[in-house]
Structure 1
Amino acid sequence: MNKIVTGIFVTALLYSSITLAKNPLDFGLLIDGKPIRTADPSAHVWSDGRLYVYTSHDEECQHDFHMKDWHVFSTDDMVNWQAHGAVLSVAELSWADDYAWAPDAAYKNGKYYFVFPAGTGIKDRVTPSNSTKWMGIGIAESDSPTGPFKDVIDAPLWREPYANDPALFIDDDGKAYLYFHGQNFDYYVVEMADDMRSIQGDFIKMDMGGYEPKMEGPWVFKRDDLYYFTMPEGNRVLTYYTATSPKGPWQYRGVIMEQEHQSNNHHSIVQYQGQWLLFYHRWLETPESSCQKRQRHTAVEYLYFNPDGSIVPVTRTEQGVADFPNRTR
C-alpha cells in the first residue's frame, strides 16, 4: 500500500468540491464517511497564485492527540477547495511513530519544504513520572507544494531540546529562521543552513521585552518593515509581539483572538489577493461524530491592521470569509 495513505480509509476520495463557503471550512474530503477533522492550519501562497493550507489530522474521536499524518488543501477563491491528500505520514519516518502535530511549510532553493513535529513514547497524564514521550522536529522536501514530501535526512533536526510546533520563516534576504515550542526552551530561534537540511549555529534566546508566558505554536510573518511573532498565549489566547528584526528584540502588543471553550488554538496569518487572513481551529460540538465530545475544525477570518501596524482584535464568525470572491473582483 502507498505509504502516503497508510491507515487512511477514504470513502469519498479526493476531489474539488463546489460548496458554499462557511466557517469552519469544508475541505470536501470524507474519511470513513465523515468530513476530515483538521487543526493547526499553516497557510501559504506560492508562485502559482493559489493558497495552500497544511494541517494536522485528527482521527475521528482520537484519544489524546495520537495523530498519524498531515494533509494539504488548496484554493484560488477561498470557496472551492481541492483536497490533495496526506503529504506525509509517521509510517514513513524511521525516528518517530506518533504525534503528527502542527506543521509548517516554506519555499526556497527551488523546492518546497515541510517542517513537522513527530515523536515516540507515551504521555502518562495520571502519573507523569511514567511518561516516555519525546518529540522532535523533522524536515522533508518536495518539488511540488502538494508533495509527496520525503524525509531526506532521515532524522530530526535535533534531539535536545524536546520540541514541537515549528514555524519556518524565510526572510527577504533568503535566510530561513525556525521558531518552535520547546520543553523549558520557549522563545528561541535557530537559523537553518542554506540547504535547509540542518540548523546553523546555536539556538538564540530572543529578547521578549520581559514578558514570556507559557506558549505553543508560534507563527512569524512580515508586513512592510515590521516582523510579527504571534502565538497561542497559555496555549489558548492568540497574542503577538512586533520587532524590526526576525530575531527581536520583541515588543508585546496584545491579543489577536480570545480563547473559546478553554481549548487550545493554533493559527497562521497570510495575505492573499489583497486580504489578510487569520486561519485557526475551533473546538465544536459535532453532531455527526461517533463520540460525544468537541472536535477540532479549521476556520478562517479576515484580519485588519491599524495605521500604526497593530492588529485589530478578531472575533470568530459563522460567515468567515464567505464573501471573499466579491471582495477581490
Structure 2
Amino acid sequence: MSISTLSRATLKPLLVTTMAFLCAQVLAQNPLDFGSSIKTADPSGHVWQDGRMYLYTSHDQECQADFWMKDWYAFSSTDLVNWTDHGPILTVDDLSWADNYAWAPDAAYKNGKYYLIFPAGTGHKDRVNPERSTKWMGIGIAVSDSPTGPFKDAIGAPLWTEPYANDPSLFIDDDGQAYLYFHGKNADYQVAKMADDMRSVEGELMKMDMGGYEPKMEGPWVFKRQGLYYFTMPENNRELAYYTATSPTGPWQYKGVFMQSEGGNNHHSIVEYQGQWVLFYHRWLSRNTQCANRQKQRHSAAEYLYFNEDGTIQEVKRTEEGVGDFMNKVLND
C-alpha cells in the first residue's frame, strides 16, 4: 500500500469524525454562548428597528448569597449564535431607592426612547424565621436613547411601593398602549396601564379574570399572535404554562403547560425573529462554576417554539442544540 493510499484510508474517517465534531459544536448552543463564563437568567427577548435580537437579563454573580444581585446585562445577535455583550447596562449603584435584588428585567421601545423596567429592593429575607424578614422589592423604570444603554433611572423611585412587586413584563399593543404585568405579594394576575410617557402608572392596578384558575406564579410574559393574546408564566414557579384571550387584560382561558419543570425556577420570554418563534428561558446547570457550595447555577438558553393550527402552543423540550442551526433554518424555510 502506498503512502498516498494509506493517507486517504486513514484521513477520510478522521475527517468525517472531525467534521461531525465541529458541526456538533456549532449546533450545541444551550446554554447560549455570550463569550464568557457569565451566569445569566430571566432572558427578555426583543427585536428593535435595527433588526437585531436583544436579550435583557439578570446577572448571577459567582456564589452570590440568596439571589443578592447587583446589575442587569444586555446582549445582541443577528443569528442567535454569536452574541455581543453590552453589559452591565444598569446597576443598583445607579439607584437611590434600592441596593440589591437586581432581578428579572424587561424592555420596551416607545416615543423614540428605550425603556428598561426592572425590579430592585432592600433588606434581608430570613428564610429560617420569615417573621424577621425586612426584604422589600419594587419596580423601577429606566430610559436610554440606545437599546444597549447606559440606562438612567427615569423617576428616581419605584412606580409604587405597595404591593411588594417584582418580575415586570411590558407589552405594547398595536395602538401604542403599554401594559405592565408583574408578580406581586397578594397581587398576582394584575395589570397596570402605563402612562404615555412611560414614567407612571395610569389609574389603579387591575385584577384580571383568569377563568377561575390562579396557581402560584412568577415571571409573566405577554405577547400577541394573529390577533390572539397570550399570557404565559412559570406555573408554580417551575413549569411554563399559558392562557389566551382576545384582549390584553382578559378575560383569560387557561390552556395548559408547554414546558415541564427541570427542578429549579424558570423565567422566559417568547418572541418572533426572522419568521421563527423562539422561547428564551434559563436552565440550572453544573458547568463553569467556581462555587463550592452551589452545585448548579443559572444559564440563559433558547428553543424553537411552534404553534398548532388552532393557535395552541406545542410542547417544548429542552435540547443541547437549542437554536444553534438558526440561520440554516431561516434560509431553508
Matched, 1:232 2:224: no
Could you tell me how far 1:290 is from its partner in structure 2?
A: 3.2
Q: Which amino acid aligns with 1:108?
A: K
Among 64, 67, 90, the alignment partner of 1:65 is 67
Residues 227-285 of structure 1, C-alpha deviations (whole Å, 9 max, x = no match)? 00000000001000000000000000001100002x10000000000000000000011
1:181 is matched with which residue?
183
Among 117, 122, 125, the alignment partner of 1:115 is 117
Task: Point out 4+ residue stretches in structure 1 off by more than 2 angstroms.
Answer: 287-292
* 1:287–1:87 distance in 2 versus 1, CA, 3 Å: closer
Structure 2 Cα separation of the partners of residues 41 and 104 of structure 1: 8
* 1:68–1:287 distance in 2 versus 1, CA, 3 Å: closer
Structure 2, unmatched stretches of 5+, are 1-24
Could you tell me how far 1:85 is from its partner in structure 2?
A: 1.4
TM-score, length basis structure 1? 0.91
Structure 2 Cα separation of the partners of residues 304 and 290 of structure 1: 37
Residues 158-210 of structure 1, C-alpha deviations (whole Å, 9 max, x = no match)? 00000000000000000000000000100000000000000001111000000
Structure 2 Cα separation of the partners of residues 117 and 85 of structure 1: 17
Q: Percent identity?
A: 72
Among 294, 298, 301, the alignment partner of 2:300 is 298
2:20 is matched with which residue?
none
SS of 1:20's partner is helix
Residues 29-84 of structure 1, C-alpha deviations (whole Å, 9 max, x = no match)? 3xxxxx00000000000010000000000000211000000000000011111001
Contact 2:289/2:296 (<8 A) preserved? no
Structure 2 Cα separation of the partners of residues 288 and 123 of structure 1: 25
Among 306, 310, 313, the alignment partner of 1:311 is 313
1:48 is matched with which residue?
50
How large is the RMSD of aligned CA atoms in angstroms?
0.9
TM-score, length basis structure 2? 0.90
Contact 2:289/2:297 (<8 A) preserved? no
1:201 is matched with which residue?
203
Could you tell me how far 1:287 is from its partner in structure 2?
A: 4.9
Could you tell me how far 1:118 is from its partner in structure 2?
A: 0.2
1:24 is matched with which residue?
31
Structure 2 Cα separation of the partners of residues 174 and 303 of structure 1: 26
SS of 1:165's partner is strand
Structure 2 Cα separation of the partners of residues 246 and 132 of structure 1: 34
SS of 1:148's partner is coil
Structure richer in helix, relative to its length: 2
Structure 2 Cα separation of the partners of residues 223 and 288 of structure 1: 38
SS of 2:86's partner is strand
Q: Which moved more, 1:208-217 or 1:319-328?
A: 319-328
Pairing of 1:1-329 with structure 2 (within 5 A): 20-21=26-27, 22-29=29-36, 35-261=37-263, 263-291=264-292, 292-329=294-331
SS of 1:214's partner is coil
Could you tell me how far 1:288 is from its partner in structure 2?
A: 4.3
Structure 1, unmatched stretches of 5+, are 1-18, 30-34
SS of 2:222's partner is strand
Q: Which amino acid aligns with 1:266?
A: H
Contact 2:270/2:277 (<8 A) preserved? yes
The structure with the larger Rg is: 2
